């Protein structure tokens, strides 16, 4: 029985963060500017608190300053918008991350739109989404961006391939499909109303699972040799793909954990340094992407 090659997201993330740290240090030496990410947390949801702490810790390892803004769970949309607008106007802040979900009483879209596109390093604004869809420069949603970096690192060229994206959320499924389309894949989206999901998945040269349902996708439905990217994460370190059976059919596969997850933070840090570079005159001349 063949075994897929494992796409090691943890190792790629380490290399990406090292390179980001080098860029941050070069920027500091050249201009005195220290890249700064503002993290905004509404309430004290334990998972969100942990995610924000992880992101701030990783900032430190990359030479990025972070500024934390902790807001009460009952904050109004208007007050949250005011906080985000102030950060958008603050020249010492280069990237803004609003940890979501923010609570059902808040208009999340209004909050995201208060983030200046030049500081939208988490890729959540309509402007960032449009730029990505049009193939224009801008910041991408971090998990989709991380998935594309993984494909590139393992020499997967999406052009001409049939890509099936399972899940269509605004932060993950939809943008990753748009990025694959931008790289000339033939993209099919699946979701909760898709009829006969296995038959669609069986056609895929590239499968991206972005649902949050443990082992929804079974190995028997993976086309032999396919590239399987599992962005799903459920309690007990479980992905959306039944790894043990899929690994015997896929050509390349991401593990959970250690696949897509680490790349998400790596892209966030990378985009924060890019935002800082672009905020300086010489950054405007040299930053790519
Ligand atoms: P979400 O907003 O809940 O979206 C889930 C998507 O899955 C929806 O589009 C939904 O369809 C679809 N879906 C639900 N049940 C399905 C089924 N039985 N068959 C096919 N599609 C189905 O979730 P999300 O925020 O995109 O996150 C998805 C997963 O990725 C979660 O496990 C999350 O933890 C993980 N994630 C990981 C990272 C990371 O850094 N690694 C980052 C973000 C998310 P409808 O649209 O029809 O409802």
276 close to 283: Cβ distance less than 8 angstroms: yes
3 in active site? no
Atom 5 in ligand 1: residue holding the nearest Cα: 211
- 29-121 shares its CATH topology with 142-261: yes
Does the 29-121 domain belong in CATH 3.40.50.10860? yes
55 in active site? yes
Residues lining ligand 1, Cβ inside 6 A: 143, 166-169, 171-173, 190-194, 197, 210-213, 216, 231-234, 260-261, 264
Domain 142-261, CATH class in plain words: alpha beta
User: What's the pTM?
Assistant: 0.96
pLDDT values of the chain reduced to their tens digit, one per residue, 289 residues: 789 999 999 999 999 999 999 999 999 999 999 999 999 999 999 999 999 999 999 999 999 999 999 999 999 999 999 999 999 999 999 999 999 999 999 999 999 999 999 999 999 999 999 999 999 999 999 999 999 999 999 999 999 999 999 999 999 999 999 999 999 999 999 999 999 999 999 999 999 999 999 999 999 999 999 999 999 999 999 999 999 999 999 999 999 999 999 999 999 999 999 999 999 965 554 444 4
Atom 4 in ligand 1: residue holding the nearest Cα: 169
> Ligand 1 centroid to 79 CA: how many Å?
29
- Per-domain residue ranges of the chain: 29-121, 142-261
């Amino acid at each position: 029985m063949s075994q897929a090659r494992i796409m090691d997201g943890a190792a790629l993330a380490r290399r990406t963060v090292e390179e980001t740290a080098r860029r941050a240090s070069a920027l500091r030496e050249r201009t005195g500017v220290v890249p700064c990410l503002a993290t905004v947390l509404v309430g004290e949801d334990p998972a969100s608190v942990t995610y924000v702490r992880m992101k701030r810790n990783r900032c430190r390892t990359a030479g990025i300053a972070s500024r934390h803004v902790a807001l009460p769970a009952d904050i109004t949309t208007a007050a949250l918008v005011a906080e985000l607008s102030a950060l958008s106007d603050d020249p010492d802040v280069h990237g803004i991350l609003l940890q979501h979900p923010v609570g059902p009483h808040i208009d999340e879209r209004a909050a995201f739109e208060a983030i200046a596109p030049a500081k939208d390093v988490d890729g959540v604004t309509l402007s960032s989404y449009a730029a990505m869809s049009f193939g224009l420069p801008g910041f991408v949603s971090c998990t989709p961006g991380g998935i594309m970096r993984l494909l590139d690192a393992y020499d997967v060229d999406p052009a001409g391939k049939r890509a099936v994206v399972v899940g269509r959320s605004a932060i993950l499924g939809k943008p990753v499909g748009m990025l694959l389309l931008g790289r000339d894949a033939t993209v099919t989206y699946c979701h909760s109303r898709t009829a006969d999901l296995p038959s669609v998945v069986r056609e895929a040269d590239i499968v991206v699972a972005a649902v949050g349902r443990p082992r929804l996708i079974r190995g028997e439905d993976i086309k032999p040799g396919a590239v399987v990217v599992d962005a799903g994460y459920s309690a007990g370190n479980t992905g959306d793909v039944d790894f043990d059976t899929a690994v015997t059919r896929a050509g390349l596969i991401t593990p959970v954990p250690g696949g897509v997850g680490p790349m998400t933070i790596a892209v966030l840090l990378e985009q924060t340094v890019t935002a800082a570079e672009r905020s300086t005159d010489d950054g405007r001349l040299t930053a790519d992407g």
